[in-house]
Structure 1
Amino acid sequence: MRDDALRALPVRSALPALRSALDSDGTAVLVAPPGTGKTTLVPLVLAGLLDEDAPDRRVVVAEPRRIAARAAARRMAWLLGEKVGERVGYTVRGERVVGPRTRVEVVTTGVLLQRLQRDQELRGVDAVMLDEVHERHLDADTVAAFLWDVREALRPELKLVAASATTDAEGWATLLGGAPVVEAEGVSYPVDVVWAPPARPVRPPHGMRVDPALLAHVASVVRRALAERDGDVLCFLPGVGEIARVAGQLGALGDVDVLQVHGRAPAAVQDAVLSAGPRRRVVLATAVAESSLTVPGVRSVVDAGLAREPRVDHARGLSALTTVRASRAAGTQRAGRAGREAPGVVYRCWDEAEDGRLPRFPSPEIKVADLTAFALQVACWGDPDASGLALLDAPPGGAMAAARSVLTAVGAVEGDAGRATERGARLARLGLHPRLGRALVDAAPVVSARRAAEVVALLGDEPPRDYGDDLGGALRAARRGGDAYAARWRQEVRRLSGLVSESGTDRGRGGTDDHVAGLVAALAFPERVARRTGGSLLMVSGTRADVPDGSALRDAEWVAVAVADRPVGAGHARVRLGAVVDEGTARRAAASLLQEGDEVAWAGGELVARHVTRLGAVELAVRPLKSPAPGLVRDALREGLRREGLGLLRWSKDAVALRERLAFLRRHVGEPWPDVSDDALHARVDEWLEPELSAARRRADLGRIDAGSALRRLLPWAGGQAARLDELAPERFEVPSGSRVRLDYSDPEQPVLAVKLQEMFGLRQTPRVAGVPVLVHLLSPAGRPAAVTADLASFWGDGYRSVRADLRGRYPKHPWPEDPAAAEPTRHTNARLRR
């Protein structure tokens, strides 16, 4: 046992408080900075492996990543002076290293989730430690909620510890029933910050794309760090592709080793990173090195400032990663790596002024990711809407509805409550996204378990670009490949084959590699089966996609699209991985989307009636329809009105005026006067246009409908208010001369009365309509505007004198009295008045 190493771990100081919290409450939140030993020392203490007098306990440690689970188990075994698999072991997907004496087992959260679904009591487990909970991975949040359920309902003696370097400690404490918060002091050294932005602006990340100019700059900053500082350099990059590109740009660095660390890295590389080397090292790493692993020898950190977060990728149908700006919390974690063993420095590849605009924390996966797998897990747990689970963030309703739709389509849940079916429980146990589980289960009886598993393994871990965009070709490349991807693929194929072979479905044998690839891809993504029309592929979902020149898929009539993206500025998606299929396979895979029936649509400004057989948005067969059902015609006419507007109807001058009067009353009186805006009239079209629409058969019939007569159906007849229309909003107003002048209600704020000035003599106060002052346009004898006022009394007293002076010389035949408020109104000239 490495006693010196154990005694040197700073988390030891927090152990008494942690034991006390677990003894009294059974739960605790442990906050310990990176490098304090929380991941390696605490599980050994909980299991009683460092105290001969302590009772034997079995402890499960859940890590968010496979690389972290393996590394933690190896480190704990080393501290005990043992090999992995003795008293400390690990289990990750496709790999299990445990023995009969194992008392601490490190697992990924995904593995623990599957274990809880099989055995809700976690029989034989005394304590569970959830590590790195601050990362807010969806599986980790789900496991925490399930474990709290287990403690509350089945195993109150089960000890729970939520551990993190930095976290919302109070939030987790509340979630775990008021758990005590235990904090450990870390040993850290000062870290200087060097702001090292690119000399010229770089394009922001888009999807998985990162501007090559930024990566070239990061490589130059790594060289700068090597020249300016001693020790190893740890460089944070968002993904495997960026790591490979920067490694290529660094080239040969003399006596410096360049290591690439990510979740797909071979075990030998992972082991090398966790041990100090004989030479200086540059470690290019993803976010896996932020907190889950300790990299010795690091004195400098170069941070590209980017991260990968999951988002719902509607073009792919799975939760996909996208490149985003790293949060300030992640930046702090990364910088801290330089101060683990001695004073260090962090080179940040962005401007200091930009730092304050970064998000404080990364987005919780439950808020941004595809929730299909989560929805299946909670349905199998017995809480389909997750309303009874202890979650820091509730799942968004829209994302859960979309997930429920997918699960219903694959037969995993049923009923309005979304209860898990027997098939759903089986899919949940596969450890796959439900789409891929459906493809594996349904394809195995047809093409054999192994061949189905081969394609599903390709879809679950997207193959390298150099395997090509043809899924059948990628399958053959993986079989003959000697690279790290092919090795991982073979391991996953063995796992998946065993899962479906055990169920007795391994009967099928037929079909070429291309046929098998197409069938499996179509079963996984039925809404992305696509047919070539108009020079591009039209998916069943309605999305169009293009295939690159030179692709094996270029001339195929039918393609099952497995992976697609949408380039910046492109109108169509771009196929990155797909398989050729035939119409029969398309119909089989997307059977739930197959429809046949009469359709009447508004197309090109006219009604088009057809009998159509379609697969979603893809038309398979069409013939003209002579006598469509009246209901279909009516719906199509409604759509035409929505698209092209109510101007398709006949709007006489009186109809327009009626609509304007009603709009005025709605504005100033409110109920019961109807809303006659376009949106409101479209929403109530059946109420005021029903008889006319039912009789219409074509566009021309709409033009014969009198909109004014139809509109009167919306008047408040029931309450008797309709009779007050002319009182509240009269069509015409009788002016002092006796003329009945039409009011203009085109502006609903204020009606306008345009009348010759002489006809308003003697009217001292401005007329009002529904309590609103009328805006009076006073016209010259020639009918041209002379003045505008909403206050006649003020105009007669002040404004009239200037108008009179200006117009009396031009119109001498018309009366221009000095006191208009007391004068006789008239429509006539002076000569006419004298007669």
Structure 2
Amino acid sequence: MTIRTDALSRLPVGACVPELLGALDAHGGAVLCAPPGTGKTTLVPLALSGLLDGPGRHRRVLVAEPRRIAARAAARRMAWLLGEPVGDGAGGGRVGFTVRGERRAGPRTVVEVVTTGVLLQRLQRDPELAGVDTVILDECHERHLDADTAAAFLLDVRATLRPELRLIAASATSDTTGWARLLGTGAGPAPVVTAEGAAHPVQVVWSPPARPVRPPHGTRTDPALLAHVASVVRRALAERAGDVLCFLPGVGEIARVAGQLAGCGAEVLQVHGRAPAEVQDAVLAGSGGGGRRVVLATSVAESSLTVPGVRVVVDSGLAREPRVDHARGLSALTTVRASRASARQRAGRAGREAPGTVYRCWSEADDARLPPLPAPEIAVADLTAFALQAACWGDPDASGLSLLDPPPGGAMAAAREVLTAIGAVDERGAATARGARMARLGVHPRLARALLDGAERVGARRAAEVVALLSEEPPREYGDDLAAAWRAARAGGDGYAARWRQEARRLERALAADHPARPAGPGRDRVASGPAAHDGPGAGQGDPGGGRPSAGRTPAGHPPADRPASGPAGGVRVTGDDAVAGLVAALAFPERVARVRAGHSYLMAAGTGAELADGSALRSAPWLAVAVADRPVAAASARVRLAAVTDEDTARAAASALASSGVEVAWADGDVVAREVERLGAIELRVRPLASPDPALIREALLDGLRREGPVLLRWTADAGRLRERMAFLHRVLGEPWPEVSDAALLERAEEWLEPELSAARRRADLARIDAGQALGRLLPWSTGDAARLDELAPERIEVPSGSRVRVDYAAEQPVLAVKLQEMFGLARTPRVAGVPVLVHLLSPAGRPVAVTADLESFWADGYRSVRAELRGRYPRHPWPEDPRTAAPTRRTNARR
């Protein structure tokens, strides 16, 4: 075994190792800021462990990576630098790795690389991390939720159990202030140790599409953009030497661009989290002097590993981030614009080994509008798994955890609701024994619930196989039928099928380990009816989930009453792929059980509509258990991506927590509807009309109808409308005690002015018979005596000089008096109501307005002359005196001559 000292000496981070060791000795923690390619992932763990110092006492170092591909690659690279094999093989084993479903480490392992998910599991089992000297959280700038959670737990351990535990946050960006504060002690923030990068210069080529493309939404990417990316890859192959690394948001986009690169003259490889380990290893091994390569990759290739031979990067500018719609119970990855920090990381891949070039598929002007950093996953993701981890740690609301960003209150409340429904936490939010079991299974709590409860009805093996399908969505070519996808995976020889088998075996082993006395496999078809079927040996004793080591911690164990109301009911055997897949999917996502409605549309228990794709084999199913769905922007319904046929009994059993029955008296479809309803969430299972509903419920329904549709439901005669206008005028001019009579004010006081008619009403037609004017009179200020002055302050009619009583219109801001001009002769001043001058509309003999004034005196002096000159010839039989102020008013024409 020969240490490759030449390769180690070329890693720039080596120059700052002494400073890093000093910072750890003095403060117990440090932030290492080192650009990609400097050796922070490979040289630093070896230096801290003492493996580079020869024989002697070595210190165990744990390196946490956000991705499996990076964990395996980092371990292999470190083992290569030591001249040893990876894992516990003969003569080696000092560097190993553990990822979900694969472990290559043994008793001799000194440096172990794990994923952050594995680290969380280990912390829950053994908070002290016995024997570990240093933990390195690599690529912490990416702000993955597991990494943030692991950091918070480690800080808790250091503060209470292991003050000597040394922590390093390793970042490839200079945004280290938050991490330095987090890892600091009472003496101040942790030191930041910076390594100078050895990256070569990278030329930027802006290469936006010639025509505008549609922005991404959901998981959809405009095919025109993908075609443009493929053309830029071909251009890069023609213009530059070396291999090309192309960044795309997801597996589907990678497959599409790969198809468009056929015949490009280079080997096209695909790297993503779903790619088989041997494919990932082949990419990282380099071409070996062969032909050129084009590596199509997701963001897994942004950091932590070097792809040998790459001199050119083509960046689509897109990334995938988690999003959750709490109101509809839908969560999925969504396509977004990559941040500027991600774009820098991607560009740096071209300069790892030599000067390179990055082709950016957007304009320089668009670059300035990119977000500076990716959104922290804790701010946008489903927090159910995080909330369970925090509850098992002993901090249900995560208020005591040291986090860079606090979890959003709404997301935590939604997570707590889910965990309570599946029996993972109690009413206080503390983890139950069942919740601790779920956390140990290493899958999302929803899938853990499906695995535990499904195994009781269909056997551990079949439950594990379906849950493995749900934990990593099958390829699109498997179709949208979960049972058919299950059969395809069993028979398949592709990379997905291999990973699925490995995960299914892991889950089956996890179930057996959790219940060693129970045989695993399809023979376990009987349903246990008692709580012990879920809690297992020792439930409620001690702390089965590991725990937060702080004082006052609440144990996670609870008595058998922790069995959730939503557990499977009855002792019915479930057989056949469709039935098994439907049950397990419904157990995982009970709010997504869906019943068919009009055509091929479905309604999920959560209340969201769902549509199947054209040609789906599921279209004849009356019930579905929807496993994967997304809701496109501006779409009324969700699109079903993966579902299983199920039936009402299964839906009832899986989603029993959503079941309800009772009397419903409500305003619906424009009238009072009274019925007895049995529901499963938003799905109406049974409906029967109710003959004699409670009058109080009817009254509430009528009030709701009034609030929704307004006072228009009442009978408004012309007199009622005028009374309302007079009251509104007095409220506007005089204020209290004259009441406001706007729609909102009337609805707020509906119970006051509509009694007793409201109590006697039963339906919309009864509301339409209520005389609104008579009822409105109840709001007049009778108690103060002001109601008697209504006709004085806001008279319905005003007597004009001719003796006519003319109606005043109070509908406008200022009262209006419309009267023929001749009837106002002799009146010098404008009439007033409640101290406000009326707006006089002076009419011609034909009843048409000829003048509008609120100042009669000025009109007679100035305006009348022009009106007289214009109209006296048109209406010769009507008087047009020269001085209207002294003329006699009249309603009649002149006498015939």
1:150 and 2:161 correspond: no
1:528 and 2:592 correspond: yes
1:785 and 2:849 correspond: yes
Alignment correspondent of 1:311: 323
Aligned counterpart for 1:206 among listed residues 204, 217, 225: 217
1:100 and 2:162 correspond: no
Residues 736, 763 of structure 1: 8 Å contact kept: no
> CA offsets, 1:160-180, max 9 Å, x none?
222211253222223334223
Matched AA of 1:828: T
Report the alpha carbon displacement of residue 24 of structure 1 after superposing the two structures with TM: 2.8
Measured in 2, the distance between the counterparts of 1:16 and 1:727 equals 96
Report the alpha carbon displacement of residue 440 of structure 1 after superposing the two structures with TM: 0.9
Structure 1, unpaired ranges of 5+: none
Alignment correspondent of 1:224: 235
Alignment correspondent of 2:47: 45
Report the alpha carbon displacement of residue 487 of structure 1 after superposing the two structures with TM: 0.9
Return closer, same or farther for 1:422/1:661 CA change in 2, 3 Å cut-off.
farther
Report the alpha carbon displacement of residue 493 of structure 1 after superposing the two structures with TM: 0.8
Matched AA of 1:519: L
Aligned-pair identity (%): 72
> CA offsets, 1:282-332, max 9 Å, x none?
111111111232222221111111111111156984531111222222222
| 1:420 aligned counterpart, secondary structure | coil
Alignment correspondent of 1:557: 622
Aligned counterpart for 1:136 among listed residues 123, 143, 160: 143
Alignment correspondent of 1:437: 448
Residues 207, 323 of structure 1: 8 Å contact kept: yes
Aligned counterpart for 2:642 among listed residues 577, 585, 599: 577
Alignment correspondent of 2:177: 170
Measured in 2, the distance between the counterparts of 1:123 and 1:760 equals 107
Matches within 5 A, 1:147-296: 147-166=154-173, 168-177=175-184, 178-254=189-265, 256-277=266-287, 278-279=289-290, 280-296=292-308
Residues 879, 894 of structure 2: 8 Å contact kept: no
Return closer, same or farther for 1:173/1:484 CA change in 2, 3 Å cut-off.
same
Alignment correspondent of 1:649: 714
Measured in 1, the distance between the counterparts of 2:457 and 2:872 equals 99
Measured in 1, the distance between the counterparts of 2:792 and 2:405 equals 53
Measured in 1, the distance between the counterparts of 2:737 and 2:121 equals 59
Alignment correspondent of 1:519: 583
1:362 and 2:374 correspond: yes
Return closer, same or farther for 1:95/1:268 CA change in 2, 3 Å cut-off.
same
Alignment correspondent of 1:497: 508
Is the deviation greater in 628-637 or in 449-458?
628-637
| 1:608 aligned counterpart, secondary structure | strand
Measured in 1, the distance between the counterparts of 2:837 and 2:338 equals 59
TM-score (norm 2): 0.84
Report the alpha carbon displacement of residue 485 of structure 1 after superposing the two structures with TM: 0.7
Aligned counterpart for 2:129 among listed residues 118, 122, 125: 122
Residues 455, 475 of structure 1: 8 Å contact kept: yes
1:381 and 2:393 correspond: yes
Residues 582, 644 of structure 2: 8 Å contact kept: yes
Measured in 1, the distance between the counterparts of 2:786 and 2:745 equals 19
Matched AA of 2:848: R
Alignment correspondent of 2:562: none
Is the deviation greater in 509-518 or in 259-268?
509-518
1:692 and 2:757 correspond: yes
TM-score (norm 1): 0.90
Alignment correspondent of 2:426: 414
Matched AA of 1:137: H
Aligned counterpart for 2:476 among listed residues 465, 471, 478: 465
Residues 798, 806 of structure 2: 8 Å contact kept: yes
| 1:345 aligned counterpart, secondary structure | strand
> CA offsets, 1:88-140, max 9 Å, x none?
22221122222212222222122222222233333333322222222122222
Measured in 2, the distance between the counterparts of 1:340 and 1:151 equals 36
Alignment correspondent of 2:339: 327
Alignment correspondent of 2:546: none
Measured in 2, the distance between the counterparts of 1:671 and 1:52 equals 93
Matched AA of 2:46: L
Matched AA of 1:29: V
Measured in 1, the distance between the counterparts of 2:34 and 2:817 equals 78
Report the alpha carbon displacement of residue 350 of structure 1 after superposing the two structures with TM: 2.2
1:633 and 2:701 correspond: no
| 2:582 aligned counterpart, secondary structure | helix
Return closer, same or farther for 1:683/1:418 CA change in 2, 3 Å cut-off.
farther
Residues 382, 419 of structure 1: 8 Å contact kept: yes
Report the alpha carbon displacement of residue 226 of structure 1 after superposing the two structures with TM: 0.8
Aligned counterpart for 1:33 among listed residues 32, 35, 41: 35
Residues 316, 562 of structure 1: 8 Å contact kept: no
| 2:128 aligned counterpart, secondary structure | coil
Measured in 2, the distance between the counterparts of 1:666 and 1:801 equals 38
Return closer, same or farther for 1:228/1:806 CA change in 2, 3 Å cut-off.
same
| 2:314 aligned counterpart, secondary structure | strand
Residues 825, 889 of structure 2: 8 Å contact kept: no
Is the deviation greater in 572-581 or in 261-270?
572-581
Aligned counterpart for 2:96 among listed residues 89, 92, 102: 89
> CA offsets, 1:431-463, max 9 Å, x none?
222211111111111111111111111111111
The count of corresponding residues between Structure 1 and Structure 2 is 825
Residues 781, 814 of structure 1: 8 Å contact kept: no
Return closer, same or farther for 1:673/1:356 CA change in 2, 3 Å cut-off.
farther
> CA offsets, 1:328-352, max 9 Å, x none?
2222221222222222211112233
Residues 661, 679 of structure 2: 8 Å contact kept: yes
Measured in 2, the distance between the counterparts of 1:176 and 1:721 equals 73
| 1:309 aligned counterpart, secondary structure | strand
Alignment correspondent of 1:343: 355
Measured in 2, the distance between the counterparts of 1:815 and 1:156 equals 106
Matched AA of 2:218: G
Aligned counterpart for 1:480 among listed residues 485, 491, 510: 491
| 2:285 aligned counterpart, secondary structure | coil
> CA offsets, 1:584-643, max 9 Å, x none?
111111112222223334444333333232322323233332112223323332343344
Residues 766, 793 of structure 1: 8 Å contact kept: no
Matched AA of 2:101: G
Alignment correspondent of 1:113: 120
Measured in 1, the distance between the counterparts of 2:735 and 2:133 equals 67
Return closer, same or farther for 1:18/1:665 CA change in 2, 3 Å cut-off.
farther
Return closer, same or farther for 1:24/1:412 CA change in 2, 3 Å cut-off.
same
Residues 738, 781 of structure 2: 8 Å contact kept: yes
Matched AA of 1:193: V
Alignment correspondent of 1:828: 890
Return closer, same or farther for 1:301/1:795 CA change in 2, 3 Å cut-off.
farther
Matched AA of 2:282: A
Residues 595, 624 of structure 2: 8 Å contact kept: yes
Report the alpha carbon displacement of residue 10 of structure 1 after superposing the two structures with TM: 1.6
Measured in 2, the distance between the counterparts of 1:131 and 1:714 equals 71
Report the alpha carbon displacement of residue 380 of structure 1 after superposing the two structures with TM: 2.7
1:508 and 2:525 correspond: yes
Structure 2, unpaired ranges of 5+: 88-92, 527-572
Report the alpha carbon displacement of residue 753 of structure 1 after superposing the two structures with TM: 4.9
Matched AA of 1:150: V
Measured in 1, the distance between the counterparts of 2:295 and 2:734 equals 72
Measured in 2, the distance between the counterparts of 1:7 and 1:725 equals 100
